[in-house]
Chains A and B, each alone.
Chain A
Amino acid sequence: MISAEPIVFVVDDESSVRKSLGRLLKAAGYSVELFASAQEFLDRPRENEVGCLVLDIEMPDLNGLELQQVLARSDHPMPIVFITGHGSIPTSVQAMKAGATDFLSKPFDAKDLFEAIDRALKKAGQESGALEAAREAKLRLASLTPREHQVLLHVLAGEMNKQIATALGASEKTIKVHRGRVMHKLRVQSVADLVRLCEKAGIRIT
């Protein structure tokens, strides 16, 4: 489930900036975690926390844009607010294209930062809800037996019990039992609910 409080992850190699941002955000009531480098952030084990990233672009070794790419490929993508002391247009374009929520030039006003973070957290919250649903759906789907899964696919295809029985070489009665189990396991009442759940779980319905 969604954790009670979203976390603002600040990654900046510049200690004074990092420290001051930490203070500012804490004073504004955010929960904050500070990281001195991209690698340090990646090393932190994460579960289901919801949060956003306040990320400096110019950093040695792995820089902000590179971290953005790494995160995009990972299981835990996260909205990013970029901060830069050297805001060049090509860099910002690249960052925004890659899905950054905001791009702030240092030095920036606290109000702008808070707004950007709130936007990012809202997005994170939404993404986090969808993810949760999908995960739940997938979890339920995972409880099906292979036979029940086969039956499910046919049901999703809109076939009648009789057609399914013919296709699977079983009695209509057997199919009916399977279908009842699927509905039960997936905790849905109607075929419409079943389809919505499967969509959430990412099963393509043909």
Chain B
Amino acid sequence: MTLRAWRRPERALWECLSPGALRPLLIAGLILSLPLVSHDPTTAQELPSTSAILVIYSGNRLLPSNLSFDESLRAALGASAGGSIEIWSEFLDEVRFPARYEERTRVLIHEKYGEHRPDLVVASSAPSLAFCLRQRTDLFDGIPIVFAGLGNDSLSRAPLPPGITGARSRFDAAATLRLALRLHPKTRQVFVIPNAGGIEGDSSIVDPAQLRESDFTLPLHRLTPEPLSRLLDDLASVPANSLVMDLSEHGSYGDPPVAPHEAMRRIADASRAPIYGIFDPLVGHGLVAAVATPVDASAHAAAALVRDILVRGEGEYLPAAKDLAATPIFDWRELRRWNLRKGQLPAGSLVRFEPLSFWRQHLLLVITASVLFLLQSGLILSLVLQSRRRRRAEIEVRRRREELAHMTRVATMGELTASLAHEINQPLTAILSNAQAAQSLLRSDGAHRAEVQEILSDIVADDQRAGEVIRRMRALLRKGEVNPVALDLNELVDEVVGIVHGEMILQNVSLELELSPSRLPIYGDRVQLEQVLLNLIVNALDALKEASGGSRKVIVRTQAIATDRSVEVSVQDNGVGLPMDMTDQIFEPFYTTKSQGLGLGLAICRSIIQTHGGRIGTRRNAGKGATFWFKLPATEENRA
């Protein structure tokens, strides 16, 4: 607007801003409830070092709309760099205390700001602008006035008095109705709530007749806004596929008064049809949507004007009044109530009260929880991997140990080959001799039937004996899985003695067995335990080999030890004995007292016995030689 615009006669504006006409705008200002402060990137021009502005509000100081306007305004002004703007606020309180409010406020402002005149006055709503204009000569002579919040078509056409500028809001009833019909295509009729009632009597900001201009042909029914109870009844009984077009700002100033947003809430709750309106502050209290200028936008626009004027200083300059655009403003909760999707809304719509998604609401929590979860998962995974690696390593170790045990077993058996050959040769000799004896008996004439029969059964027995030797040998040479079974220690001794018997004869060593008369049930791997016993006996034979003179003797004893529920087998020789201080070391790997051998035999014996939960050790004999023993846990007889 140009300078000319606000030099138009004051008169017209005065008429326009009569209390009755201004009332809807006042309400609009009052209901302002949701300031969505968008940061206005304002020009960083220098402001005068200190400026003071006085903001005149209608209504109560604590009205949400006033608080929001104040907040938005301060935010916008505070954003300007440089000097400071002091912001003073006054409240007309004309709604609750209507009597002589104008005179009361005039005196207050006069007294209060007589000495400290503000550099600029902001009228936050239509009633406050009306007050300012009425009291201008008295209170604000020569002070520029910036208005906000008001504005409809008729007002925007009114000429502005000099020294006044502002931001005009827009309340677009026709656009709202078009939007509503688009969102509810099945609508069969529209109910209109006109702006009526209140203190000053009926005076609509939008004439329902305007809606006729829209090109729609649906029946349009007019509801009576007052009294509220009747309106609620009417709304509760509207037919299906109806739409309510609400042009009222509501609120009743009777006794007790009903605040506009409370009335709106009750109306919306009662209504069977969606309600569309034109006041931004009522969105959030029951309106599905309104096509209007958001309150914070008007506060920002006002702030921009204020700054502009203050920066320009004392001069006659006054920026032109602005016409703010209307924006479709939706209540997300109402969209849900009426099954509308955001995707149906026109571009540029504001949707309020949309709950933050879980992600946005608890972003930090989500991130923290995710990180913790990932860390924990990682920890668990690494533990699982580690345990799997360890298990694999354990399996590997066990496999190696079994392999090593097998190798030493093979080596031990290798040492015994001569005696094993002897063991097999004996029955073979007997078989051959028997067979040839039978041949010659059969060649002769006599009846030798009985004798030949006897020979044949001896042959069978000897063959079985040779087979047994081979079976034992093969069992010990076998490389197989460890297979723990119930065993009898005595039987084990018999088996091993069968293997070393030949060796003992070859080395001219006598063997004494002192076996426990009762069974000695144990649980373990037969081959491994036989290996241990075999090893101990072969060691004893080796010790005897080096011994000189005397009768050479090995005593194998078995016994049950009741005190610790174990069974023991000991192998005693009268050979060279053990070095005095070596009794602990002999079970260590690679320790050997022999000229040949790796020194693994006893280490493997210990490993095998430990695997079976037993112990192995040595004793020095009272006389010559050494005694090796091992103990295993005794099992219940019924397991054997």
Additional 5 contacts, C-beta under 8 A, given A23-B455, A24-B433, A86-B418: A16-B426, A16-B427, A16-B458, A23-B433, A86-B425
For the complex, is B430 an interface residue (Cβ under 8 Å from A)? yes
Q: Which of B428, B462, B465, B506 contacts A58 (CB 8 A)?
A: B506
B→A interface (CB under 8 Å) = 418-419, 421-422, 425-434, 436-437, 440-441, 444, 451, 455, 458, 461-462, 465, 502, 504-506, 508, 510
B422 and A58 within 8 A (CB): yes
The interface residues of chain B lying within 8 Å CB-to-CB of A63 are: 508
For the complex, is A107 an interface residue (Cβ under 8 Å from B)? yes
B430 and A20 within 8 A (CB): yes
A17 and B433 within 8 A (CB): yes
A107 and B429 within 8 A (CB): yes
A20 and B418 within 8 A (CB): no
A19 and B458 within 8 A (CB): yes
For the complex, is A85 an interface residue (Cβ under 8 Å from B)? yes
CB distance from B113 to the nearest CB of A (A): 134
21 A-B contact pairs sorted by A residue (CB < 8 Å): A14-B430, A16-B426, A17-B426, A20-B431, A20-B432, A20-B434, A20-B455, A20-B458, A20-B462, A21-B433, A23-B434, A23-B451, A24-B434, A27-B441, A27-B444, A60-B505, A61-B510, A106-B428, A107-B429, A108-B432, A110-B433
The interface residues of chain B lying within 8 Å CB-to-CB of A21 are: 433
Question: A13 vs B429: C-alpha distance in the bound complex, in angstroms?
Answer: 13
Contact indicator per residue, chain A 3-36, by CB within 8 Å of chain B (1) or not (0): 0000000000110110111011011100000000
Name B423's closest neighbour in chain A (CB-CB). Answer: A85
For the complex, is A40 an interface residue (Cβ under 8 Å from B)? no
A86 and B506 within 8 A (CB): yes
The interface residues of chain B lying within 8 Å CB-to-CB of A16 are: 426-427, 430, 458, 461-462, 465
Question: A26 vs B440: C-alpha distance in the bound complex, in angstroms?
Answer: 10
CB distance from B276 to the nearest CB of A (A): 117
Q: Which of B426, B432, B502 contacts A109 (CB 8 A)?
A: B432
CB distance from B499 to the nearest CB of A (A): 15
The interface residues of chain A lying within 8 Å CB-to-CB of B444 are: 27
A106 and B429 within 8 A (CB): yes
The interface residues of chain A lying within 8 Å CB-to-CB of B426 are: 14, 16-17, 85, 106
5 A-B pairs closest in CB distance: A20-B433, A85-B425, A23-B437, A110-B436, A24-B437
The interface residues of chain B lying within 8 Å CB-to-CB of A83 are: 429
The interface residues of chain A lying within 8 Å CB-to-CB of B506 are: 58, 86
Interface residues of A in 137-179 (CB under 8 A from B): none
| Chain B binding surface SS class | helix
Q: Which of B422, B428, B432, B440 contacts A86 (CB 8 A)?
A: B422
Using A23-B434, A27-B437, A86-B418 as known contacts, say yes or no to A59 and B429 having CB atoms under 8 A apart. no
The interface residues of chain B lying within 8 Å CB-to-CB of A13 are: 505
Contact indicator per residue, chain A 45-71, by CB within 8 Å of chain B (1) or not (0): 000000000000011110100000000
Name B451's closest neighbour in chain A (CB-CB). Answer: A23
CB distance from B110 to the nearest CB of A (A): 140
CB distance from B425 to the nearest CB of A (A): 4
A20 and B437 within 8 A (CB): yes
Q: Which of A23, A83, A113 has the most CB of B within 10 A?
A: A23
Name B461's closest neighbour in chain A (CB-CB). Answer: A16
Q: Which of A60, A107, A109, A110 contacts B428 (CB 8 A)?
A: A107
Chain A's interface size range is 20 to 34
The interface residues of chain A lying within 8 Å CB-to-CB of B510 are: 60-61
Name A18's closest neighbour in chain B (CB-CB). Answer: B430
CB distance from A169 to the nearest CB of B (A): 58
Question: A59 vs B507: C-alpha distance in the bound complex, in angstroms?
Answer: 10
Question: A59 vs B505: C-alpha distance in the bound complex, in angstroms?
Answer: 6
The interface residues of chain A lying within 8 Å CB-to-CB of B462 are: 16, 20
Question: A93 vs B451: C-alpha distance in the bound complex, in angstroms?
Answer: 38
Question: A3 vs B426: C-alpha distance in the bound complex, in angstroms?
Answer: 33
Question: A60 vs B502: C-alpha distance in the bound complex, in angstroms?
Answer: 10
Question: A20 vs B427: C-alpha distance in the bound complex, in angstroms?
Answer: 10
Question: A16 vs B458: C-alpha distance in the bound complex, in angstroms?
Answer: 8
B440 and A85 within 8 A (CB): no
Name A28's closest neighbour in chain B (CB-CB). Answer: B440
The interface residues of chain B lying within 8 Å CB-to-CB of A23 are: 433-434, 437, 451, 455
Name A113's closest neighbour in chain B (CB-CB). Answer: B433
Name B505's closest neighbour in chain A (CB-CB). Answer: A58
Question: A63 vs B431: C-alpha distance in the bound complex, in angstroms?
Answer: 23
A27 and B440 within 8 A (CB): yes
Question: A204 vs B543: C-alpha distance in the bound complex, in angstroms?
Answer: 52
CB distance from B601 to the nearest CB of A (A): 24
CB distance from B558 to the nearest CB of A (A): 22
Question: A108 vs B419: C-alpha distance in the bound complex, in angstroms?
Answer: 18
Name A16's closest neighbour in chain B (CB-CB). Answer: B430
Name A86's closest neighbour in chain B (CB-CB). Answer: B422
CB distance from B566 to the nearest CB of A (A): 33
Using A23-B455, A86-B422 as known contacts, say yes or no to A107 and B432 having CB atoms under 8 A apart. yes
CB distance from A170 to the nearest CB of B (A): 60
Q: Which of B429, B451, B506 has the most CB of A within 10 A?
A: B429
B421 and A85 within 8 A (CB): yes
Contact indicator per residue, chain A 163-197, by CB within 8 Å of chain B (1) or not (0): 00000000000000000000000000000000000
A107 and B425 within 8 A (CB): yes
Question: A108 vs B432: C-alpha distance in the bound complex, in angstroms?
Answer: 8
The interface residues of chain A lying within 8 Å CB-to-CB of B425 are: 85-86, 106-107
CB distance from A64 to the nearest CB of B (A): 11
The interface residues of chain A lying within 8 Å CB-to-CB of B441 are: 27
Using A17-B426, A27-B440 as known contacts, say yes or no to A60 and B508 having CB atoms under 8 A apart. yes
CB distance from A21 to the nearest CB of B (A): 5
CB distance from A17 to the nearest CB of B (A): 5
The interface residues of chain A lying within 8 Å CB-to-CB of B429 are: 17, 20, 83, 85, 106-108
Question: A16 vs B444: C-alpha distance in the bound complex, in angstroms?
Answer: 23
The interface residues of chain B lying within 8 Å CB-to-CB of A86 are: 418-419, 421-422, 425, 506
Question: A86 vs B441: C-alpha distance in the bound complex, in angstroms?
Answer: 29
Question: A113 vs B432: C-alpha distance in the bound complex, in angstroms?
Answer: 12
Question: A26 vs B455: C-alpha distance in the bound complex, in angstroms?
Answer: 13
Question: A95 vs B297: C-alpha distance in the bound complex, in angstroms?
Answer: 129
CB distance from B465 to the nearest CB of A (A): 8
Name A14's closest neighbour in chain B (CB-CB). Answer: B426
The interface residues of chain A lying within 8 Å CB-to-CB of B428 are: 106-107
Question: A26 vs B426: C-alpha distance in the bound complex, in angstroms?
Answer: 20
A17 and B436 within 8 A (CB): no
The interface residues of chain A lying within 8 Å CB-to-CB of B465 are: 16
The interface residues of chain B lying within 8 Å CB-to-CB of A106 are: 425-426, 428-429
Using A24-B440, A110-B436 as known contacts, say yes or no to A17 and B430 having CB atoms under 8 A apart. yes
CB distance from A95 to the nearest CB of B (A): 15
CB distance from B593 to the nearest CB of A (A): 26
